[in-house]
Structure 1
């Protein structure tokens, strides 16, 4: 009996989308030459990026090499459909190529540069194909028919650049300068947050082999002065920084309570803000779950900081615009500092977070080393409110929200010092933080800016660090880092405060407290000088730590003299010490500031820190790969 053609076939247990079937057919490793119809269908169906990415994960580097025909065919056909400029196949081809490049370039090859070229196009065709490829992407980014297709072209460039960063393939983007096209895209967008991808790509390109040849993107950064584009970049950076900050707040919410109406606001409104009561915010206990969630932060979008570093290093106009930009919500630089506060508060949780923390501190150092920028940051008449991290004790003491940028930066440095103390101290992180403190104090002393600030906390943090260094001297000395990179800015900062504190401290009590803490710390200072064999450097007429020790001895001598004549009892109270300190000012010999960095501070020199800069660059590249993958 014949079976009726109307009998229904057995329903399959699951339905597989047609595009997924095509992905499976594409990598069957049977050297099939796919028909034009196959490619037409592939680039007409909505891509399933997740499915395609999983399929590529199952292909090893050896399989790609041994069956390179399929990969080369896909790359060639995708490029052809992009060049055809027909909707929707060109956009689908761009999406497919982004995922494909991320999959291919994520594999570990024995000879990365030659193997990847062989997989994608073949060694004999690479110059022709990749020159054409770079030209097509540049044209699309600059003049694509829509912002959507222009963004997709940027994503392809990001996928290739991050995946092939250690190969010669990225050189095709240096021969074909993408900078004007990327800047034009940023100029044309309406939402500044969309500047993230081109700005991040620019950071990768500006760092590519920059110690081996004259990188053209660095030269482009130096000359760029388009104010409208820079404003969009700054505003987009603020959005990214806020997003990163929110990821930390999502673990522990340390935002202050709503103060839309309060006594403090009312007093501030009528000019009596100094009388307003300030309520401390109690830190929340950190659980194991919190620690685990903090450990994976920040997210990969943090890689945008590489571009910020390069722009700040090369372009004073960008720095000035960043500091002065107001933004639609918060000032971009305020959002930048707030994000840095959260990052550095938790820097010790991973080497990756520490590395980004160092990058932030270096970026701030470069900004502060510009005299014009530094004056703005230290100007007490320019104040801003910044949300600083308060997620773990010890927390910073409550302070008026609107303060100078310098006050907020000093708080960030103090927080970094207090929250990242470990027996195996990260000397690079601490040295970067201490150099920042030193430079701010130099600027304040030069310009006689009397900065309202809780100076006592700064002295306490610096001298507590000194005690920590002495306690774990053997562990610290054993590290392959020059300890004087840390001790020099540490003791120079304290010496500047001793010699020129009257130029920037807002009241005598802050000065008294510094000397009181030095008197207390005299034994530690003497011990640490011996432990680390601290010697003079450069043109210094005296060693900073010697100045501190002699200052402490000066007041110790007065105390002993007072005891000798019976003015003091054997048990000296803190009130007695403070009185002796005030009486001893007149006889104190003010130290010479030559060599302390006030007039001749050391500038950041990238060439002297190649190893560190390259490590930072590699870390950013890995995060961009995570983003596009």
Structure 2
């Protein structure tokens, strides 16, 4: 077996025929993905193929751009092998890799995979309004047979769309494991993912990454594969958002880019088709996740990551006093809706693993931080007032949320502290409303807005230093979860090798 691995390494590195080199990469992918749970992969640990694979990527990309994608997947699979049990040579090589030319090639290749993955979702259901023309008008009024689209295949039925969505993303989504491995180990790769343009007049790699992540996470509830790739994508995004330099660029008007986000299911966020600050695209992506994957068997990892990314973006904005123009009301609405859902189905949800630590605590912490520090990043008083308005409306929800998820025996717990801060504000305004308007069940929005403005003067807004706190990503906290996700991605890599 050692001789075979040596021969494959030599072919990948030195063979003069690009087709032969590509077949050698295909063979390596089939061996390492197919034998991932056996000792077979140990031969590839002893014979380091990393430099050969990177040379192959550098040499072959101009002749056969698509061929480099499997080399990218191979590195992701090999760098994941027994990474928590022993030293992994490929993990070390990822950390030390500084060849920026090759990194750019890999970034551009991943961007093309992301674009292809997103387009498969759009082929199943085009979610953006078509441009107005005669054909679209005839189709809209039921006269498709008279339009220029009459000879095209008819749109898929609802059942066909459902089946297709259940099969997406394709097997090349296993490259998302490679993306995570690179972003986690190599800051230069993460920087190039954000900074690199794809090609002239085409989308930037970071834009295509956000777009494909939006479509995948929009359908994360459909199965383990979809959830796995949504979570791996969000982990990569979380690591990038935690990088101070990248976070600054993501919040800058100099970094504007066009980001197509999924709109295949209601509720919809406002449609933005013009170039936008990346941070607003990230906030919309995560807000959409909160709205479109609600179910009794809640994906705690997915929701915790989405909330955590919103928290990291907002704490960065507040730290550098960046007042971001954004539709903040939709974020407030999503946070309250999630809290209402958690309360309504508390009997089913509160026993889910890590839901208190990874979801409820982050949710309450995020809301409390926005309440105490909102004047540092919100663009206008109206956005801040709207948060107060929604908290006042959600007073009963907050009380029930506290009863369901807060531990009365640990009053110093962060979750307890955050919920108490939210309740104190909501109760303060409820008392003011009752004092001014008696026991009227319903108050007009105008009356509530007036009370909000007047109540600022008497409001004792708690500002706990722990509001907005978050920990940097550590793989050791997610060992079991990452192993499960690796198994899913490696199985897809095996099937990719057979195509």
**Equivalent residue number for residue 192 of structure 2:** 321
Please say if residues 541 and 595 of structure 1, whose CA atoms lie closer than 8 Å, have aligned partners that are also in contact: no
Q: For residues 65 and 97 of structure 2, what CA distance do their matches in structure 1 show?
A: 18
- More RCO (CA 8 Å, sep 6+): 2
Q: State the Cα distance separating 1:596 from its structure 2 match.
A: 2.0
Query: 413, 418, 422: which is aligned to 1:544?
Result: 418
Deviations 1:142-179 (A, max 9, x none): 11112211111110100000110011111111111101
Please say if residues 541 and 592 of structure 1, whose CA atoms lie closer than 8 Å, have aligned partners that are also in contact: no
Q: For residues 413 and 13 of structure 2, what CA distance do their matches in structure 1 show?
A: 53
Kindly tell me the number of residue pairs found equivalent between the two proteins: 472
**Equivalent residue number for residue 154 of structure 1:** 25
Please say if residues 79 and 89 of structure 2, whose CA atoms lie closer than 8 Å, have aligned partners that are also in contact: yes
Q: State the Cα distance separating 1:538 from its structure 2 match.
A: 7.9
**Equivalent residue number for residue 437 of structure 2:** 563
What does 1:319-468 correspond to in 2, within 5 Å? 319-328=190-199, 329-399=202-272, 401-468=274-341
Q: For residues 300 and 546 of structure 1, what CA distance do their matches in structure 2 show?
A: 46
Deviations 1:284-320 (A, max 9, x none): 9982221111111111110000110011101111111
Q: State the Cα distance separating 1:251 from its structure 2 match.
A: 0.6
**Equivalent residue number for residue 520 of structure 1:** 393
**Equivalent residue number for residue 89 of structure 2:** 216
**Equivalent residue number for residue 383 of structure 2:** 510
Please say if residues 121 and 215 of structure 2, whose CA atoms lie closer than 8 Å, have aligned partners that are also in contact: yes
After superposition, the Cα gap between the structure-2 partners of 1:589 and 1:479, relative to the gap in structure 1 and judged at 3 Å, is same
Q: State the Cα distance separating 1:192 from its structure 2 match.
A: 4.1
Q: State the Cα distance separating 1:540 from its structure 2 match.
A: 5.1
**Equivalent residue number for residue 160 of structure 2:** 289
Please say if residues 539 and 594 of structure 1, whose CA atoms lie closer than 8 Å, have aligned partners that are also in contact: no
Please say if residues 194 and 236 of structure 1, whose CA atoms lie closer than 8 Å, have aligned partners that are also in contact: no
Q: For residues 466 and 231 of structure 1, what CA distance do their matches in structure 2 show?
A: 42
Q: For residues 332 and 232 of structure 1, what CA distance do their matches in structure 2 show?
A: 11
**Equivalent residue number for residue 37 of structure 2:** 166
Q: For residues 94 and 418 of structure 2, what CA distance do their matches in structure 1 show?
A: 39
Q: State the Cα distance separating 1:619 from its structure 2 match.
A: 0.3
State which drifts further: 552-561 or 409-418.
552-561
Unmatched runs of 5 consecutive residues or more in structure 1: 1-129, 261-283
Q: For residues 259 and 448 of structure 1, what CA distance do their matches in structure 2 show?
A: 42
Is 1:175 matched up with 2:49? no
Provide TM-score, normalisation by structure 2: 0.91
Q: For residues 381 and 592 of structure 1, what CA distance do their matches in structure 2 show?
A: 33
**Equivalent residue number for residue 472 of structure 2:** 603
After superposition, the Cα gap between the structure-2 partners of 1:320 and 1:591, relative to the gap in structure 1 and judged at 3 Å, is same
Q: State the Cα distance separating 1:571 from its structure 2 match.
A: 4.9
**Equivalent residue number for residue 459 of structure 2:** 588
- Secondary structure (helix, strand or coil) at the match of 1:398 reads coil
Query: 299, 302, 316: which is aligned to 2:170?
Result: 299
- Secondary structure (helix, strand or coil) at the match of 2:458 reads coil
Deviations 1:71-104 (A, max 9, x none): xxxxxxxxxxxxxxxxxxxxxxxxxxxxxxxxxx
Please say if residues 338 and 388 of structure 1, whose CA atoms lie closer than 8 Å, have aligned partners that are also in contact: yes
Q: State the Cα distance separating 1:537 from its structure 2 match.
A: 8.7
Please say if residues 402 and 419 of structure 2, whose CA atoms lie closer than 8 Å, have aligned partners that are also in contact: yes
After superposition, the Cα gap between the structure-2 partners of 1:623 and 1:420, relative to the gap in structure 1 and judged at 3 Å, is same
Q: For residues 445 and 111 of structure 2, what CA distance do their matches in structure 1 show?
A: 47
Please say if residues 516 and 577 of structure 1, whose CA atoms lie closer than 8 Å, have aligned partners that are also in contact: yes
Structure of greater Rg: 1
**Equivalent residue number for residue 619 of structure 1:** 488
Between Structure 1 and Structure 2, the one with more helix by share is 2
- Secondary structure (helix, strand or coil) at the match of 2:104 reads helix
Q: For residues 211 and 347 of structure 2, what CA distance do their matches in structure 1 show?
A: 35
Q: For residues 378 and 362 of structure 1, what CA distance do their matches in structure 2 show?
A: 19
Q: For residues 184 and 109 of structure 2, what CA distance do their matches in structure 1 show?
A: 19
Q: State the Cα distance separating 1:496 from its structure 2 match.
A: 1.1
Q: State the Cα distance separating 1:480 from its structure 2 match.
A: 3.5
Q: For residues 65 and 407 of structure 2, what CA distance do their matches in structure 1 show?
A: 50
**Equivalent residue number for residue 94 of structure 1:** none
Please say if residues 364 and 415 of structure 2, whose CA atoms lie closer than 8 Å, have aligned partners that are also in contact: no
Is 1:137 matched up with 2:11? no
Aligned-residue Cα RMSD (Å) equals: 2.1
Query: 101, 106, 111: which is aligned to 1:238?
Result: 111
Q: For residues 379 and 625 of structure 1, what CA distance do their matches in structure 2 show?
A: 41
**Equivalent residue number for residue 252 of structure 1:** 125
After superposition, the Cα gap between the structure-2 partners of 1:236 and 1:304, relative to the gap in structure 1 and judged at 3 Å, is same
Unmatched runs of 5 consecutive residues or more in structure 2: 134-154
Provide TM-score, normalisation by structure 1: 0.72
After superposition, the Cα gap between the structure-2 partners of 1:540 and 1:569, relative to the gap in structure 1 and judged at 3 Å, is closer
